[in-house]
Structure 1
Amino acid sequence: MLNLARVIATGRLMHHAGETRSFTGRAQARLAQMMGVEQALLVNSGTSALIVALKAAGIGPGDEVLVPAYTWVSTASAPLFLGAIPILVDIDESLTMDPADLERKITPFSKAIIPVHMLNLVCDMDSIMAIATRHGLAVIEDACQAVGVTYKGRRAGSIGHLGAFSFNHYKNVTSGEGGAVITNDGHLMRRAEVYHDIGTFSADYSVQDWDFVGCNQRVSELTSAVLLAQFGRLDKDLQNRRRRRARNIDRLLPLSGAKVSPHHDPDAAVGLTLTFENSQDAKEFAAQHSAVTRIGDIKRHDYVSWLPVLQHCGADPRTNPLLSAQRKVTYSADMCARTIDILSRTCLVA
Structure 2
Amino acid sequence: MNIPFSPPFIDQSVVDQVLDTLNNKWITTGPKVKALEQEIKSITGTKEVVCVNSWTSGAILMLKWFGVKAGDEVIIPAYTYSATALAVLHCGAMPVMVDILDDFNIDPDKVKAAITTKTKAIIAVDIAGWPCDYTALKELITDPKVQRKFRYESEKQSLLKRILLISDAAHSIGSLFNDKPAAQECDVTIFSFHAVKNITTAEGGAICLNLPYPFDSEAEYSYLKMYTLNGQNKDALSKSRGGGWRYDILFQGLKINMPDICAAIGLAQIRKYNHELLPQRKKIALQYCDGFQHEDWFIAPPLVSIQRESCYHLFPMRVKGLTEEQRDQVIDDLASLGIASNVHFIPMPMLTLFKNLGYKIEDYPMAYQNYANEISLPIYPQLTETEVEFIINSVISCVNIQLNNRIKTIEETFIVHKQMAVAS
Unaligned runs of 5+ in 1: 17-21, 313-329
Paired letter, 1:238: L
Contact 2:169–2:190 under 8 Å retained in 1? yes
Distance 1:340 1:285, change over 3 A: closer
Report deviation, 1:279.
3.8
Specify which of 352, 358, 364 is matched with residue 336 of structure 1: 364
SS class of match (1:157): helix
Aligned match of 2:189:
163
Specify which of 279, 289, 309 is matched with residue 268 of structure 1: 309
Contact 1:167–1:178 under 8 Å retained in 2? yes
Distance 1:202 1:156, change over 3 A: farther
Specify which of 228, 231, 234 is matched with residue 273 of structure 2: 234
Percent of paired sites with the same residue: 22
Are 1:298 and 2:322 matched, yes or no?
no
Aligned counterparts of 1:208 and 1:225: Cα–Cα separation in 2: 27
Aligned counterparts of 1:222 and 1:86: Cα–Cα separation in 2: 34
Aligned match of 1:317:
none
Aligned counterparts of 2:355 and 2:34: Cα–Cα separation in 1: 39
Once the two structures are superposed, what CA deviation does each residue of 1:303-336 show, in whole Å capped at 9, x if it has no partner? 1344224324xxxxxxxxxxxxxxxxx4234232
Aligned match of 1:199:
231
Contact 1:144–1:164 under 8 Å retained in 2? yes
Aligned counterparts of 1:200 and 1:52: Cα–Cα separation in 2: 15
Are 1:224 and 2:250 matched, yes or no?
no
Aligned counterparts of 2:304 and 2:124: Cα–Cα separation in 1: 13
Aligned match of 1:307:
352
Aligned match of 1:84:
93
Paired letter, 1:232: R
Aligned counterparts of 1:13 and 1:287: Cα–Cα separation in 2: 44
**Higher deviation after alignment, 239-248 or 203-212:** 203-212
Are 1:140 and 2:149 matched, yes or no?
no
Are 1:214 and 2:214 matched, yes or no?
no
Contact 2:27–2:259 under 8 Å retained in 1? yes
Contact 1:52–1:181 under 8 Å retained in 2? no
Aligned counterparts of 1:150 and 1:121: Cα–Cα separation in 2: 9
Aligned counterparts of 2:354 and 2:142: Cα–Cα separation in 1: 28
RMSD: 3.0
Report deviation, 1:147.
1.9
Are 1:256 and 2:284 matched, yes or no?
no
Distance 1:220 1:282, change over 3 A: same
Contact 1:151–1:264 under 8 Å retained in 2? no
Once the two structures are superposed, what CA deviation does each residue of 1:16-35 show, in whole Å capped at 9, x if it has no partner? 5xxxxx11111111111111
Aligned counterparts of 1:86 and 1:73: Cα–Cα separation in 2: 11
Report deviation, 1:170.
0.9
Aligned counterparts of 1:333 and 1:132: Cα–Cα separation in 2: 27
Once the two structures are superposed, what CA deviation does each residue of 1:165-218 show, in whole Å capped at 9, x if it has no partner? 111111001121111111133154344323212112469887967553111001
Are 1:4 and 2:18 matched, yes or no?
yes
Aligned counterparts of 2:133 and 2:140: Cα–Cα separation in 1: 11
SS class of match (2:190): strand
Contact 1:200–1:208 under 8 Å retained in 2? yes
Aligned counterparts of 1:286 and 1:252: Cα–Cα separation in 2: 19
Once the two structures are superposed, what CA deviation does each residue of 1:287-318 show, in whole Å capped at 9, x if it has no partner? 39959x9x9x8375411344224324xxxxxx
Paired letter, 1:41: V
Aligned match of 2:80:
71
**Higher deviation after alignment, 228-237 or 277-286:** 277-286
SS class of match (1:49): helix
Q: Which has the higher helix share?
A: 2
Are 1:181 and 2:207 matched, yes or no?
yes
Aligned match of 2:139:
130
Once the two structures are superposed, what CA deviation does each residue of 1:33-74 show, in whole Å capped at 9, x if it has no partner? 111112111111111111122223332222111111111100
Aligned match of 2:323:
280
Contact 2:292–2:298 under 8 Å retained in 1? no
Q: Which has the larger radius of gyration?
A: 2
SS class of match (2:124): coil
Aligned counterparts of 2:208 and 2:100: Cα–Cα separation in 1: 25
Distance 1:137 1:284, change over 3 A: closer
Aligned counterparts of 1:43 and 1:281: Cα–Cα separation in 2: 37
SS class of match (1:12): coil
Aligned counterparts of 2:327 and 2:17: Cα–Cα separation in 1: 47
Aligned counterparts of 1:159 and 1:208: Cα–Cα separation in 2: 37
Paired letter, 2:92: G
Paired letter, 2:20: R
Paired letter, 1:9: N
Contact 2:343–2:371 under 8 Å retained in 1? no
SS class of match (2:330): helix
Contact 2:350–2:360 under 8 Å retained in 1? no
Unaligned runs of 5+ in 2: 1-14, 147-161, 212-216, 379-424
TM score, norm. by length of structure 1: 0.82
Aligned counterparts of 1:264 and 1:298: Cα–Cα separation in 2: 21
Aligned match of 1:247:
287
Distance 1:275 1:11, change over 3 A: closer
